[in-house]
Structure 1
Amino acid sequence: MSIESLRNILIPPNSPNETGAGESWPFVDENVTFPMDYVEFINIYGTGRIADFIALLNPFTKNFDLNFFEQKKLIIEDFNYLIDEDPSYYKYNLYPKLNGLLPVGITDNGDYIFWVVTDLKDSNLWKTAIIASRSPDVEYFDESITSLLSGILLKKIKPDSLPDNFPPNQIIFDGI
């Protein structure tokens, strides 16, 4: 599914906030680009919450809690600490390692949505994963970020970590 599929499910705001319009897109790190579907998502939706539950991190927001670069640093530091403390319990790689997890979103329950960085030269090949709050388990999805969101909102993908009553009947994007 593409960004167009998501737009049919999740109506974009009329005046999105912090889209980065008129600005150059930064790199994730050095020469690592963001996936195009994510760039399109931020360009169309900006900063906000999906169905009053999910928020994607945004490199253009001034909101510390949703800023991609601030949260990338904190989340990776936190997870590296957990892995260092108990590597037999936390058995996954983090970015910048190959197949490492790179945070891209959060839920109100404290779950983290990640890209699985399978290729440093082509971010459009990245898939996704979710780690539930306080869990060592990772759910992997063979989906881009927008196709994962579309699948979840259409109830075609049901991550174990998300509440049974999600998504709600009325799906709205609330700009912040």
Structure 2
Amino acid sequence: MSEFEKLTDKINLIGSPTENEFTENKWELFENTNGIKFPAAYKNFINYYGTGCLCELIWVLNPFSNSKRFNLLSYLEDKKKAFTTFEEITKEKYPYSLFHEGKGILPFAFTDNGDTFYWEITSSKSKEYKILLFDGRELLIEEYSIGFSELLLQILNKSLKTNIINKDDIRGCNFNPLSV
């Protein structure tokens, strides 16, 4: 059984998915236009579940979402503004560069607590990336060398070693699709 199959067995889908079922051609066009190769498990997740909230805490960004708040590229633009503001206020350089021209960190999910998950992309040819979790309240960053599905499984199982996500905030294994 693949990690993605384990994930779908674990998650209870509440309602009907929205903004899902994208063709391989649509993914390929998006990836080629933006200089990124998404992990297969991420594309499978978006194609299966679409846009919505996992365990009443985590919102997985969707590159095709019509909602600015949940659209991956719109979220990236908002983060660029936040990084610039941070650097202007603190006079410090942020420890990572945001995704640009095939390299940098790319957000793929966020929590209701303001934490953000990123892939660290060092090459536009790679399909698997290190995962970074940024604390939304302080400059705390955790690194994970696991895949997308494994990350979500560990969160749902409350076995992810983290000082950022409070295990009490993880409520169930439900996925609630975004109402459109």
CA contact (8 A) 1:46 1:58 kept: yes
Cα deviation, 1:62-115, whole Å, max 9, x if unaligned, reads 111001111111113312432354364742332238873211111101111111
Q: Distance in 2 between matches of 1:21 and 1:30?
A: 17
Gaps of 5+ in 1: none
Cα deviation, 1:1-60, whole Å, max 9, x if unaligned, reads 721121121134563110143461112754322221110110011000001110011011
Report whether the alignment pairs 1:45 with 2:43.
no
Question: 2:175: which partner in 1?
Answer: 173
SS at match of 1:103: strand
User: For residues 61 and 4 of structure 1, do their structure 2 counterparts lie closer, same or farther at Cα, with a shift above 3 Å needed?
Assistant: same
Q: Distance in 1 between matches of 2:94 and 2:70?
A: 25
CA contact (8 A) 2:156 2:170 kept: yes
Between 132-141 and 71-80, report the one with greater CA deviation: 71-80
Task: Pick one of 126, 129, 152 that aligns with 2:129.
Answer: 126
Question: 1:148: which partner in 2?
Answer: 151
Between 73-82 and 24-33, report the one with greater CA deviation: 24-33
Q: Distance in 2 between matches of 1:76 and 1:86?
A: 15
Gaps of 5+ in 2: none
Q: Distance in 2 between matches of 1:121 and 1:95?
A: 14
Report whether the alignment pairs 1:56 with 2:56.
no
Higher helix share: 2
Between 53-62 and 78-87, report the one with greater CA deviation: 78-87
CA contact (8 A) 1:119 1:126 kept: no
CA contact (8 A) 1:38 1:146 kept: yes
Provide the aligned length of Structure 1 versus Structure 2. 174
Question: 2:37: which partner in 1?
Answer: 33
Q: Distance in 2 between matches of 1:100 and 1:117?
A: 5
